[in-house]
Structure 1
């Protein structure tokens, strides 16, 4: 176990590299649909981040670039970064196919400043399911700060850590320790985008961060938190009783107790 955790980057890279072609071919990411509408952003993200036309935006941990290219469709000058070579190549290919001007760089999130040769951006964007792959949030936040121009801001939308303490089936029973932020090892075949996919590199190392740890890391890097919004919905049917709304998000049935399932943060650099 300790050996696996010590090789977390190597292990996770093998895991993600194998899953890129599965994600490209599957229905979860719906590439044919994306080619038509060119937007996978949630309405609240677009509203909270505001006008991006003509502004430079860098997307950390961008996978194969759907969210990145969606911001380009809203007028941003976009750059994406991911540690997976196959993901970056797929992102570049998708941008070329769509005729979108976009830059994609292969690098670890912690090495983003070097990867972009010290360039700075108006907006740093990070989307769902990214922070769980990072062991050191203060270091990540310092990278974000170094990537921002004065007056620029971080926008982060993520799954709420509260959901991770509940049982996976009903989401009604506390089964996990909220404050356990140590490394955890996952060893299962398939992927969240296709549970039945045949895969070989099935081990992954991840970390669950409390909301306090995220906010404290951002503030500790000298960024001013403008808002922290907690959302009662999520982007996939996390529990069996969630119902899809007209906005494409999933939420508890009418009258059921609500819980936070996503959150979003905007934090600016002085």
Structure 2
């Protein structure tokens, strides 16, 4: 149900994510054995849209256990830094980096709130500031996020965002074929359910979560006001999991059947900072 902003939103979310770190590490969803063996969890459109990262520095905001962050290092980034508010997640990411033989000069991880990133990360600017899928819904203030992220983009560098499309939040939960919710909702969505996307049967204690819906226009406007120039906004007809019963698996992703009308399920954007 929708409620006024709860004062405990950050701590509730942190406790939920902290508890789920060991569940995620053991899950088939993240499949750490395959990752250790070289499997790339990055989406093909992300690799294509970001391009060659060889020799560049990359900051990953809200990095969770660091699989995407470390993948960019595998793709040749000279230095990657991951930031997440969950200390267990950051510790797991550091452990994975060590397993891969990446020193802190190549891959560093910081435990801090994303709004405090400018003060928490080791460098003042990065060639690429990256935010992966499923991050923005945990933040109440997108304008503050955009200002923080933009401040960390080096002149001539860019921010890249890949996210679930907020249009999916207005569709009915069962089939994803009917509009049932308000696209412009501003109050947080408070839930209290066990398990999670990586293991729906996991027994969990810290189940309260607080999330926000951010229309695409709000995100783009916030980045523009923060001084970045939007180079592209792409919408994608695929998603990472079977959110709606109507979706079908294909090539490791999910989409509507070819006979059904399509709606955007994810989006990505790139926004650059002009050189001084």
Equivalent position of 1:109 in the other structure: 114
Give distance in 2, aligned partners of 1:225 and 1:3.
32
Q: Are positions 1:265 and 2:269 aligned together? A: yes
Distance (whole Å) between structure 2 residues aligned to residue 239 and residue 204 of structure 1: 21
1:227 aligns with 2:232: yes
241, 255, 262: which is aligned to 2:259? 255
Shift of the alpha carbon at 1:4? Answer: 7.5
Q: How does 1:138-153 map to 2 (within 5 A)?
A: 138-153=143-158
What count of residue pairs does the alignment treat as equivalent? Answer: 269
Structure with higher helix content: 1
> What is the CA distance between 1:181 and its match in structure 2?
2.0
Aligned ranges 1:121-200 → 2 under 5 Å: 121-200=126-205
TM-score (norm 1): 0.97
**What is the Cα deviation at residue 7 of structure 1?**
1.1
| Map of 1:54 onto structure 2 | 55
- 2:85 corresponding residue in structure 1: 83
- Classify the secondary structure of the residue corresponding to 1:193: coil
1:96 corresponds, among 86, 95, 98, to 98
Q: Give RMSD over aligned pairs.
A: 1.4
Q: Does 1:19 align with 2:20?
A: yes
- Cα contact 1:231–1:262 (8 A) shared by 2: yes
What is aligned with 2:64?
63
Q: Take 2:246 and 2:209, find their aligned partners in 1: how far apart are those partners?
A: 28
On the 8 A contact 2:3/2:187 being kept in 1, the answer is no
Aligned 8 A contact 2:154 2:273 in 1: yes
1:236 Cα offset (Å): 1.2
In the aligned structure 2, how far is the partner of 1:60 from the partner of 1:38? 22
Distance 1:2 1:180 in 2: 11
**Counterpart in the other structure of 1:242:** 247
Q: Could you list the runs of 5+ residues in structure 2 that have no partner in the other structure?
A: none
Deviations 1:75-126 (A, max 9, x none): 0121100000000000000110111231000000000000025521000000
